[in-house]
A and B are shown apart, each in its own frame.
Chain A
């Protein structure tokens, strides 16, 4: 884009002003505007003054391209000239020009030759890759990448196409064809898991839809499915399985344990997902059995792979009743956190017990005002405050 005849740019507007003209009138350019209404070809000819036939060097050509002019590149027929064009355009930095030259080279050089020359020209190569991506010439792009030994990228490109396939069965078939591609070792495993997940979702969906229609299975009636299990990420599938197939034996493909083992879900992840699902159903007994009980000096102590404050958070989000919340708030290790949680959820007993644990008489006294007068908690507080066997700190 430069100050050329027949084309009005913002720069010519400014130059016009600075050259002493006070205001710009559109009517001052009658010829240019009428020219514009004529077909583009004529406009092209008017704006290119020099004869275009074999009069200039690759360097000149690039210069003209940089100014936005139309340049006939067909005059550069030798390989040497073509590569000069390319190298000059790369040196000039303008991606638009680099791509223009590449389009010309793509048309007038064999694939093999072009690929070879691009192999040692990183900047040009990147622009060519971008161009092929935009014009969706994926076959040629993959050939190019393969010729450069970038096989992992080719695999990812091919894999990417699965996003364009809406039908899950077709998508599953497509993924099957991807599994053998030369991904990196890690990615290979992930793609295999992706395929396995889709296959499993298809199976589960078929049998669950039948069960739903059949009307025999309780859980589908009480908690109707909001959406089919297809296309969901693994963890959502696990959650679904914990909702509707929790008690199934490990051999069943729809059981949570089977999913956990096949896809190597971490213990923490499995725990959180199962906890969230069982809470949603209000299955508090199930929740209780999730915590392993450790025998500690004769007392059974619950153990959790995540902090109990997080457990409380998850339970709370499923509107767990306060007796349930209370139990787990009481298990929070950090006393400050325990107290703040207990206060937030109005679990007075926990607060009272904690203050007693801390032997903090002042805090307990202060809390007395927060409970219902005449309530059980008030009685408990009074009893504790009156207990001479407790060695209060303050």
Chain B
């Protein structure tokens, strides 16, 4: 089943301008250090940089050698060194060491640090402390957004999640506000901004401060009408569920990086792997990316049959016809053939891996958790998962999913599972559990944790917001989950007696085989429908508040652009959510543009919490 586009679907803005602007800015900065120079690039920036300015471009601007930033002594002998980095103290300290080592050895060079997306005061103070401030020039490269596809823009800032939600550090909020500012300047003015979540609210306020500078925008014809900003911690359940739409599965298994994926030889059925771009330019991919995996094989087989028929056409042809066929059609068919083989290979690989892991049983357990049934069975399943040492991250994922859907684990279960986890995977994971508790991903039920008690506490907090003061219950940033109550109020777990036909999905829950409508997307749907939060007061309380709805430019309300909605995920967004929003687009006549601090999935989310303790 292909998603054919509606004839009246609104046109998306052209985001290629973003790439050009970002590239121009980088080139300008490189030219500020004329002459040959060696460029050191932060590991995290290598893939995004490749999409914006490849090696050829860099060489055109006198970049000689390229190095990845590694926190050890450098071997470069260049006269000028340029560092393209994220503003991390650890990296800046390393640069200071490099400069000071040069000084001690009597080596004289020029140094330039290009911070992206911005520099931090703490970094400059460190440069000053280490006596290096006067020896380096400092610049900022406004790399705010990378278009991953026609409707997906990424800030490529995965650390946003741990910094903002685990550490409660607001360092990236200005960056997020600048993203809004940039998009507003290029494609605004926005007519309405909705949002929910602590960071969303603060980002919005930071952005509003910059609005006065753009008075002339009011006359512009907007290309984006509405904006919805949402914190990742408003919905932790969705990214933790196993993905079953094609693009989500590919990401879970092969790890898509900046819209590119590497398929190994088991997929290509040859002795070498291949690196491919996965976006709407790949005609085969764009038809299967949002589909439930159960449909993909059938679809690909049908396409393969069609392709064969097209090839076979040439049997009855004469010389002239064959010539025409070869010059016009063959190339396209060959291209399609290549893509088809690739995706069929990938699908087969996915099937093999999932059968080995007994995927069906896993999904069944997840669905039980989401529905709230068979608690003891779920616990047993998780126990055996841990006991068999299946996977450090997967075992955690299951525990967190259970904790979130049950509003915390019962004390005896929490302690038993924790002990078994530590025994299976190592005692140092004490630290991982501490992180998870702090985030509210894996918690122990406290006595008196009935739903009404919870709701009363939250209600009080929402009215009790004095600056800087937080009641004891919330001195950590962790929010109570309340999933069950939310699920009921928003009908997230569809109750249906008939089988859910995945070939003809009837709602967003198809991305999870009909078992669960993603909370984040449901909220967006409801708020757009009600043009605000009216009628959702109970839901907001359960989500710990911080919701807002602000009218921007009141003119142009009837515009086409009003159907174009930008959704900004602060903390990451999964491919499943993107697929769900695309479905919603078709259903309601919107066009969603997803802007995210980074693409995420359960592995990335949890690995960050494992790594955070190293």
Question: Which are the 6 A-B pairs with shortest beta-carbon distances?
Answer: A95-B170, A95-B171, A100-B121, A10-B142, A194-B427, A126-B168
Q: Are B468 and A87 in contact (CB under 8 A)?
A: yes
Complex: A92 Cα to B136 Cα, angstroms: 30
Q: Contacts A3-B213, A95-B174, A122-B475 given; 9 further ones with Cβ under 8 A?
A: A14-B21, A65-B121, A93-B202, A95-B171, A95-B172, A99-B120, A121-B468, A127-B170, A131-B122
Using CB atoms, name the residue of chain A closest to B435. Answer: A156
Which of B51-59, B274-282, B412-420 is the interface stretch? Answer: B412-420
Closest residue of A by beta carbon distance from B120:
A96
Report the separation of the CA atoms of residues A98 and B434 in the bound assembly, to the nearest whole angstrom.
26
CB-based contact B24/A306 at 8 Å: no
Q: Tell which of A7, A99, A190 touches B419, judged by Cβ atoms closer than 8 Å.
A: A190
A66 touches B120 (CB 8 A): no
Q: A96-B121, A190-B419 are in contact. Are A90 and B468 (CB under 8 A)?
A: yes
0/1 interface trace, chain A 159-172, chain B, CB 8 Å (1 if under): 11011000000000
- Return the CB mask of A110-133 against B: 1 if under 8 Å, else 0: 000000000011111011011101
Q: Does B499 contact A (CB under 8 A)?
A: no
Q: How far is the CA of A1 from the CA of B428 in the complex (A)?
A: 41
- Which residues of A lie under 8 Å from residue B168 when comparing CB positions? 123, 126-127, 130
**Which of chain A's residues has its CB closest to B214's CB?**
A15
**A26-B31, A103-B125 known; A93+B138 contact, CB < 8 A:** no
B118: chain A residues at CB < 8 Å are 1, 68, 96
Can you list 13 A-B pairs with a CB-CB distance of less than 8 A? A36-B137, A40-B133, A94-B174, A97-B121, A100-B121, A122-B468, A123-B170, A129-B167, A134-B122, A156-B430, A186-B418, A235-B387, A310-B384
For window 167-194 of chain A, which residues contact chain B by CB distance below 8 Å?
A: 186-187, 190-191, 193-194
Using an 8 Å CB-CB cutoff, how does the interface string of B83-96 with A read, 1 for contact, 0 for none? 00000111000000
Q: CB within 8 Å of A: which residues of B? A: 21-22, 24-25, 28, 31-32, 88-90, 118, 120-122, 125-126, 133-134, 136-138, 140, 142, 144, 163, 167-174, 178, 181-182, 185-186, 202-203, 205-206, 209, 213, 216, 383-384, 387-389, 415, 418-420, 422-428, 430-431, 434, 467-470, 475, 477, 613-614
State which of A10, A40, A135 has its C-beta within 8 Å of the C-beta of B21.
A10
What distance in Å separates the Cβ of B534 from its nearest Cβ neighbour in chain A? 27
Contact present for B171 and A99 (CB under 8 Å)? yes
When A1-B118, A10-B142 are in contact, do A40 and B137 touch as well, CB less than 8 Å?
Answer: yes
Chain A interface residue count, Cβ-Cβ cutoff 8 angstroms: 74
Separation in Å of the B139 CB from the closest CB of chain A?
8
Least CB distance, B563 to chain A, in whole angstroms: 25
Is B202's CB under 8 angstroms from A120's CB? no
Are A123's CB and B384's CB within 8 A? no
- Least distance between A325 CB and chain B CB atoms (Å): 18
Q: Is the CB of B90 within 8 A of A24?
A: no
Contact with B along A213-257 (1 / 0, CB 8 A): 000000000000000000001111000000000000000000000
A40-B121 in contact (CB<8A):
no
A9 in the interface (beta carbon within 8 A): yes
**Once bound together, how far apart are the Cα atoms of A283 and B391, in whole Å?**
27
Interface set, chain A 259-283, CB cutoff 8 A to B: 263-266, 268-269, 272
Chain A residue contacts of B138, Cβ below 8 A: 40
Residues of A within 8 A of B216 (CB): 18
**A268–B178 CA distance with the chains assembled, in angstroms:** 54
Query: Chain A contacts of B186 at CB under 8 A?
Result: 14
Residue contact A235 to B389, C-beta cutoff 8 Å? yes
B415: chain A residues within 8 A (beta carbon): 186
Beta-carbon contact of A162 and B428 below 8 Å: yes
Specify which of B28, B387, B427, B614 is in contact with A272 (CB 8 Å cutoff): B387
Cα–Cα, bound, A187→B209 (Å): 46
Given A40-B134, A96-B121, A96-B174, check contact A269 B22 (CB 8 Å). no
**A217–chain B nearest beta-carbon distance, Å:** 27
Given A1-B118, A94-B174, A13:B25 Cβ within 8 A? yes
Bound CA–CA A8/B203 (angstroms): 23
How far, in angstroms, from A65 to B427 measured CA to CA in the complex? 44
A:124-162 near B, CB below 8 Å:
124, 126-127, 129-131, 133-135, 153, 156, 159-160, 162
Interface string of A58-90 (1 = CB under 8 A from B): 000000011010000000000000000001001
User: Could you say which residues of chain B place their CB within 8 Å of the CB of A285?
Assistant: none
**Complex contact B423–A265 (CB within 8 A):** yes
> How distant is the Cα of A314 from the Cα of B400 in the complex, in angstroms?
27
- The CB with the most chain A CB atoms within 10 A, among B182, B419, B475, is that of B419
Which residues of the partner chain A approach B424 to less than 8 Å between Cβ atoms? 233-235, 269
* Residues of B close to A210: CB separation below 8 A: none
Assembly CA distance A310 to B361 (angstroms): 13
* A99 x B468 contact (CB < 8 A): no
Whose C-beta in chain B lies nearest to the C-beta of A148?
A: B475
Whether the pair A10, B182 counts as a contact (CB closer than 8 A) is yes
Distance in angstroms between the alpha carbons of A33 and B29 in the assembled complex? 10
Bound CA span A3–B418, Å: 52
CB distance from A313 to the nearest CB of B (A): 9
Please indicate the chain B residues that have their CB under 8 angstroms from the CB of A264 in the complex: 419
Encode A285-299 as 1/0 by CB contact (under 8 A) with B. Answer: 000000000000000
- CB atoms of B134 and A156 under 8 A apart: no
- Residues in B with CB closer than 8 Å to A97 are 121
Closest chain B CB from A319 CB (angstroms): 16
Given B126, B171, B181, B468, which contacts A96 in the complex, CB threshold below 8 Å?
B171
Determine how close the nearest CB of chain A comes to the CB of B570; give it in whole angstroms: 13
B52 vs chain A, min Cβ distance (A): 12
Residues from chain B with Cβ under 8 Å of A194 in the complex: 427-428
Interface contact B428-A163, CB-CB below 8 Å: yes
Asked if B32 and A37 sit within 8 Å, CB to CB, the answer is yes
Q: A134-B89, A186-B415 are in contact. Are A159 and B431 (CB under 8 A)?
A: yes
Q: Which residues of A contact B475 (CB under 8 A)?
A: 122
CB pair A159–B425 under 8 Å, yes or no, is: no
Q: How far, in whole Å, are A130 and B610 apart by their CA atoms in the complex?
A: 17
In the assembled complex, the CB of B198 is this many whole angstroms from the nearest CB of chain A, namely 10
User: Is A375 part of the binding interface, using a Cβ–Cβ cutoff of 8 Å?
Assistant: no
Interface string of A187-205 (1 = CB under 8 A from B): 1001101100100000000
Residues of B within 8 A of A123 (CB): 168, 170, 468
B residues near A14, Cβ cutoff 8 Å: 21, 182, 185-186
The contact of A95 among B89, B126, B169, B389, by CB within 8 Å, is: B169
Give which listed residue, B121, B182, B213, B427, contacts A191 with CB less than 8 A: B427
Does A11 have its Cβ within 8 Å of any Cβ on chain B? yes
Pair A99/B121 contact, Cβ less than 8 Å: yes
Specify which chain B residues have a CB less than 8 angstroms from the CB of A135 in the assembled complex: 89, 122, 126
Q: Judge whether A11 and B185 touch: CB under 8 Å.
A: yes
Output the nearest chain A residue to B145 by Cβ-Cβ distance.
Answer: A10
- CA of A13 to CA of B29, assembled, Å: 13
Asked whether A39 lies within 8 Å of B171 as measured between CB atoms, the reply is: no
Interfacial chain A residues near B125, Cβ < 8 Å: 100, 103
Instruction: Give chain B nearest CB distance to A39 CB in angstroms.
Output: 7
A41 at the binding interface (Cβ < 8 Å): yes
